[in-house]
Chains A and B, each alone.
Chain A
Amino acid sequence: MQNQELSKIKVINISKKFNIGYRKSDSALAKFLAYFSTRENKRSIQVLDNVSLQVSAGENVGLIGGNGSGKSTLLRIIAGIYQADSGSLQVAPNVIYMNGFGFGLKPKLTMRENVFLTGAIMGLSVSEIKKRLPEIVSFSGLEEFVDTKIYQFSSGMLNRLSFSTITHCLQQKVPDIILLDEVFSAGGDASFQDKAIGKMEEFLRRGSAVILVSHELGFIRKYCNRAILLEKGKIKIFGETSEVIATYLSNNDSFKS
């Protein structure tokens, strides 16, 4: 039984529908004509259908499911990026949502400038970022490229930079909720992957309520006490990680091999 006091995320019967429009209908002229027209040029899809869940402090919950099953939409609703059409949501105030690590990078800025920009996005002051810069640079292993514009970086180097910057900026933070959407691919070579996984482990064991979306089932198995399988916007099963993964695999022939 969940302890109500410790519950950081409480989602009750959340549903969400998206209108699938046509790009042409976004122009000013089309909007103007549509105002006088009664014809509806749209269809909608149900992305989430009566989803309920509860996650407590210190708990890591895995969220798995096929593409388009509604995983990212659910996390974005919890993070306050989307609004649900119906249902209720009780979420602790301090939430961090990340879909990948490279969202803040500007190719025409140098590595140093990108660290400062990403740090600012993560809520750090200039002096805090300055303090962490040597650590970030050393962790990324990109000491020689600090003043190089990052459009010249390979994709592995970009991954190293964004992963190092974000994880170090989050170092002293213990948010109530961490929502990680496909971030378990830190990129880089094998030695960096090992370092990155170590860093992520630190991050996941700080007592926040964590929901992890990943297609890497090994990670879900390793780090999550419970898991949810979403299928066409509905929770198919929410329970022990091994049981949920087994259900997912039994439904998905490609994984069996």
Chain B
Amino acid sequence: MGSKYKLKETLRLSLSLAKATFRLRIEGSYLGILWYLLNPLFLFLVFMMIRQSSSLATGVMFYPLYLFLGIAAFNFFRATISAAIASISNNPNYIKSTNMVSPESLVGAAVLQHIFAHLFEFLIISFLVFYFSLSAVGLFYYLLAFSCFIIMVIGLALIFAIVGVYVSDLENVWAIVSQLLLLGTPIFYSASSNSLIYKLNFFNPLFYFLETSRSLLIYGRLPETNILLIFLISAPLIFFLGVFVFKRYKYKMAELI
């Protein structure tokens, strides 16, 4: 009962904090909600132009959807982890000046804020699905796969939030890592299953969601069994690892910010 109430409270507060941050970002700006979409849209346009004038991913079916799925997943992953890194260290007031804001809710707010943002990307994905006359049922399966990805990302966000307190320049490190992820993950190109880059991607959490969502939406089938299994098993494992690490170090972190 106690932990159920605590979880409900954490979710309620995460939602309020996420709403406030979301409003802060979209208000007072002529571009408003477009701020969330500009980054993926520009990347999309750049890669589409590169493909027009090169032989990039020539054999890929429905390339605009293939590309946008990759960009949307990458954008959600990059932005959520980036917000999680700052969630604790940039909010010492919430951590030290009161006991009414649980640190978990700050990380929850970082994740929720980018789930809201992903909904706008989902609208573009839906548009592309209808544009290419693909099965709309795939969109439902996409949301299921995205829910699983959220579980994985929450676990990682909890870990990064804690490490962000201990390592002051983690945001800079993450900026470099996310550049490597953008280039190393098959977002705008396709990697054959016997290539080195494909094998390296087995260590990349983003890769599993990407493969799953593309299989479901573009090809209308499940991904390869090993990819699906690793995705479904690693998501809860990473989530519980995140919860464990966060619980273990959360008292220490108040002393460091």
Q: Which residues of A contact B (CB under 8 A)?
A: 18, 23, 26-28, 31, 76, 79-83, 95-100, 103-104, 106, 108-109, 113, 116-117, 120-123
**CB–CB A121/B254 < 8 A:** no
Contact A109 to B97, CB < 8 A, known contacts A23-B168, A26-B168? no
Flag whether B229 is at the interface (Cβ < 8 A): no
The reply to whether B99 and A79 contact each other, CB–CB distance below 8 Å, is yes
Q: Does B123 contact A (CB under 8 A)?
A: no
> In the complex, what distance in Å separates the CA atom of A117 from the CA atom of B100?
12
**Cα–Cα distance between A116 and B17 once the two chains are bound (Å):** 10
Taking Cβ atoms with an 8 Å cutoff, the residues of B that contact A are 9, 12-13, 16-17, 20, 23-24, 27-28, 93-101, 166-170, 172-173, 251-252, 254-255
Among B167, B172, B173, residue most surrounded by chain A Cβ atoms (within 10 Å): B167
Write out the residue numbers on chain A whose beta carbons fall within 8 Å of the beta carbon of B23: 109, 113
Is there contact, CB below 8 Å, between A117 and B168?
A: no
- Knowing A121-B98, A123-B100, the reply to whether A109 touches B93 (Cβ < 8 A) is no
Let me know if B16 and A117 touch, CB within 8 A: yes
A79-B99, A123-B9 known; A28 vs B167 contact (CB < 8 Å): yes
Q: Known pairs A31-B166, A99-B96. 9 more at Cβ < 8 A?
A: A18-B255, A26-B166, A27-B168, A28-B173, A81-B96, A103-B94, A104-B101, A113-B23, A123-B9
A83–B255 alpha-carbon span in the complex (Å)? 9
Verify B251–A83 contact, CB threshold 8 A: yes
Question: Cβ of B94: which chain A residues have Cβ within 8 Å of it?
Answer: 103-104, 121
A/B interface sample: 9 pairs, CB < 8 A:
A26-B167, A27-B167, A81-B254, A104-B98, A109-B23, A117-B16, A121-B13, A122-B100, A123-B100
- Nearest first, the 4 closest Cβ-Cβ pairs linking A and B are A120-B16, A26-B168, A103-B97, A83-B251
A31 touches B13 (CB 8 A): no
Interchain CA distance A121-B9 in the complex, whole Å:
10
Contact B254 A76 (CB under 8 A): yes
Contact between A80 and B100, CB atoms less than 8 A apart:
no
Instruction: Please measure, in the bound complex, the distance between the C-alpha atom of A27 and the C-alpha atom of B169, giving whole angstroms.
Output: 5
> Given known contacts A82-B251, A103-B94, is B100 in contact with A121 (CB within 8 Å)?
yes
CA distance A117 to B16 in the complex (A): 7
B residues near A81, Cβ cutoff 8 Å: 95-96, 99, 251, 254
Give every chain B residue within 8 A of A98 (Cβ-Cβ).
97-98
State in angstroms the CA–CA spacing of A204 and B93 once bound together: 24
Q: A26-B166, A27-B169, A28-B173 are in contact. Are A96 and B99 (CB under 8 A)?
A: yes
B138 smallest CB distance to A (angstroms): 36
> Contact partner of A108 among B9, B16, B28, B166, CB < 8 A?
B28
Partner of B98 from A31, A97, A113, A117 at Cβ < 8 Å: A97
Chain A residue nearest to B15 in the complex (CB): A120
Question: Is B167 a contact of A95 with CB atoms below 8 Å?
Answer: no
Q: Which of A95, A100, A106, A120 contacts B99 (CB 8 A)?
A: A95
Minimal beta-carbon separation of B167 from chain A (angstroms): 5
Q: Using Cβ atoms and an 8 Å threshold, which residues of chain B touch A18?
A: 255
A196 CA to B17 CA in the complex, in Å?
A: 27
**Least CB separation from A73: chain B residue:** B255
